[in-house]
Amino acid sequence: MKTLIISLVLLLELILQGTFFQFMNIAGFYPDLVLITIVIIGIFHDKEYSWRFGLIAGLLTDIIYGRVLGFHGLLYLTVIVVVSILASNVFKESIVAPLLLFPIGSLVKNTMYYMITYLLKENIPIGEYLASFGIYYWVINMIALFAVFFLMLRYKKYWVVSN
């Protein structure tokens, strides 16, 4: 049941990112709710349980917005495994954990994205790609990170397997 709830939350976040946030952005930036949620799930769950949510989020992204099935699945799966390994020795209910692990998760996802698109011969100039992660990107995502983290802490019993 909890897997279904988390999957529906990820689907809702994907729909929000693709519709509402496209029009309600700040300087062209909007929060990456799916990545934020994936990082927080990776913090609260061990990698044996959390990897499925990375795969679910990625496949949903591929089905809704992608051109290649499994591209985002690989990205989100890698992010959640890396984050859950790094979070194994972190106090889970502290805001410090997501503040430290979100930039790592974002770096893993965006580096892999650039490398895979480069190998697929989609030439994205590196300077232009790096410019899309300016100060607005980090500020907006950190604000959203606080909101999502405290919402998930408040309703932990609905989505965490073991309290």
pLDDT tens, position by position, 99-122: 999 999 999 999 999 988 888 888
The CA-atom distances, in angstroms, between 124 and each of 3, 59, 138 are 36, 23, 21
Bridge partners (DSSP) of residue 29 are: 26
Tell me the C-alpha distance between 162 and 155, whole Å.
13
Q: What is the CATH number of the domain that holds 49?
A: 1.10.1760
Mean pLDDT of 48-61: 92
Mean pLDDT of 37-52: 89
Range of the domain at 140: 2-159
**Cβ–Cβ under 8 Å, residues 80 and 41:** yes
Whole-number percent of the chain with pLDDT over 90: 56
Instruction: State the pLDDT at residue 162.
Output: 56
User: Which band of pLDDT confidence, cut at 50, 70 and 90, is reported for residue 163?
Assistant: very low
Q: Number of folded domains in the chain?
A: 1
To which H or E segment does residue 120 belong? none
Tell me the C-alpha distance between 57 and 34, whole Å.
7
> Phi/psi at 113 (nearest 5 deg)?
-60, -50
